[in-house]
Amino acid sequence: MKTVLLTGAAGFIGWKTAEFLLKEGYKVIGVDNLNNYYDVRLKEHRKKDLEKYENFKFYPVDIENLQALEILFNDYKFDVVINLAARAGVRYSMINPYVYMTTNANGTLNLLELMKKYSVKKFVLASTSSLYAGQPMPFKEDLPVNTPISPYAASKKAAEVMAYTYHYLYGIDVSVVRYFTVYGPAGRPDMSIFRFIKWIDEGKPIILYGDGSQSRDFTYVDDIARGTILATKELGYEIINLGGGKNPISLKRVIETIEAHLGKKAVIDYRPFHKADLKETWADITKAKNLLGWEPNVSFEEGIKKTVDWYLENRDWLKDVEVGNE
């Protein structure tokens, strides 16, 4: 039985990745600092779901805490480290950029140092499509992403290049997976799809930055989790896009699809487009197909239906979840 250290285990993608690993028979040591960037009840909901598996063990550890991490590396022999712990969110990174660097960059460095010390050879690092700002589409992994336009993207770039350094110097095998707008049941409440579902259902105005024509390569969380696990194979050092790979979906279409599944119309509060946001994202997933045999299985329409269904089933407690206004 392989043992995986999975950081960010109570996070949206971490939870689903852990679930799939556990079902495949891996032993998963999950860590998460359970911070309150968004409503902790969602994190507790996901963590409770994982704790029903005998091969799962959870520790409330922050990857910024090198000493606490080292206890785990000393107690367990990890075959793989999957780093999904991160401060997320483009706009908040402009308010508090320091925590993005300490978690996303320094936290990654802590893991790499311990992997070197304890001879753990495989590292999977979650990264972001936000790095592709200003590049031609569809986005390919070999584009020169050297001009990030938010502290969030800059901190992720820092983690990527540090991982390369440890690959080059110490032979750590690294897969960097760049995610494209992930959504699904129990998703982050600061992301558009969760907010839109909740606001439309409750009859509250949707806050929409721009005119709704901006689009994203939405990718269902199950597909992202599968791709992340496939990326644990030995590859050397590779950066791999995990995205929808088809035509991007506009926010207008997102709203219309949610309206159809809820049977309710949205009230829209239009705001100016935010300069740190990308107008469009679109992944070239050729590399994922060739290296991992991966492509998404869940269509946008099916994914939205599953997400709305989950929301309706859990509406009693989700009504109190804060989604913020930014």
pLDDT of residue 159: 97
Residues 298-311 have a mean pLDDT of: 97
Confidence of residue 152 (pLDDT cuts 50, 70, 90): very high
Active site residues: 152
pLDDT of residue 246: 81
* Alpha-carbon gap, residue 70 to 200, rounded angstroms: 46
Domain identity same for 312 and 238: no
pLDDT of residue 146: 85
pLDDT > 70? residue 190 = yes
205: DSSP letter: P
Of 221, 226, 247, 189, whose CA–CA distance to 306 is shortest?
Answer: 221
* Alpha-carbon gap, residue 239 to 196, rounded angstroms: 32
* Alpha-carbon gap, residue 153 to 8, rounded angstroms: 18
Confidence of residue 106 (pLDDT cuts 50, 70, 90): very high
Query: Does residue 138 have a cis peptide bond before it, meaning omega lies within 30 degrees of 0?
Result: yes
Lookup: tokens for 72: 């785990």
Write the CB contacts of 96 (distance below 8 Å, at least 6 apart in sequence). Answer: none
Write the CB contacts of 71 (distance below 8 Å, at least 6 apart in sequence). Answer: none
Confidence of residue 90 (pLDDT cuts 50, 70, 90): confident
* Alpha-carbon gap, residue 240 to 109, rounded angstroms: 20
* Alpha-carbon gap, residue 132 to 39, rounded angstroms: 29
Structural domain includes residue 291? no
Domain identity same for 158 and 88: yes
Structural domain includes residue 127? yes
Q: Count up the domains in the chain and report the number.
A: 2
Strands 268-271 and 206-209, by their bridges, are parallel
Strand partners, 174: 123, 237
* Alpha-carbon gap, residue 167 to 181, rounded angstroms: 27
Cβ of 35: how many Cβ atoms within 10 Å? 15
Structural domain includes residue 326? no
Write the CB contacts of 63 (distance below 8 Å, at least 6 apart in sequence). Answer: 7, 31, 33, 69, 83, 85, 103, 107, 108, 110, 111
Q: How many residues does the chain have?
A: 326
Domain identity same for 104 and 209: no
Structural domain includes residue 314? yes
Domain identity same for 124 and 105: yes
Range of the domain at 85: 3-181+218-242
Domain identity same for 41 and 167: yes
pTM for this entry: 0.94
Question: For the domain that residue 201 is a member of, what is the CATH number?
Answer: 3.90.25.10
Residues 265-270 have a mean pLDDT of: 93
pLDDT > 80? residue 67 = yes
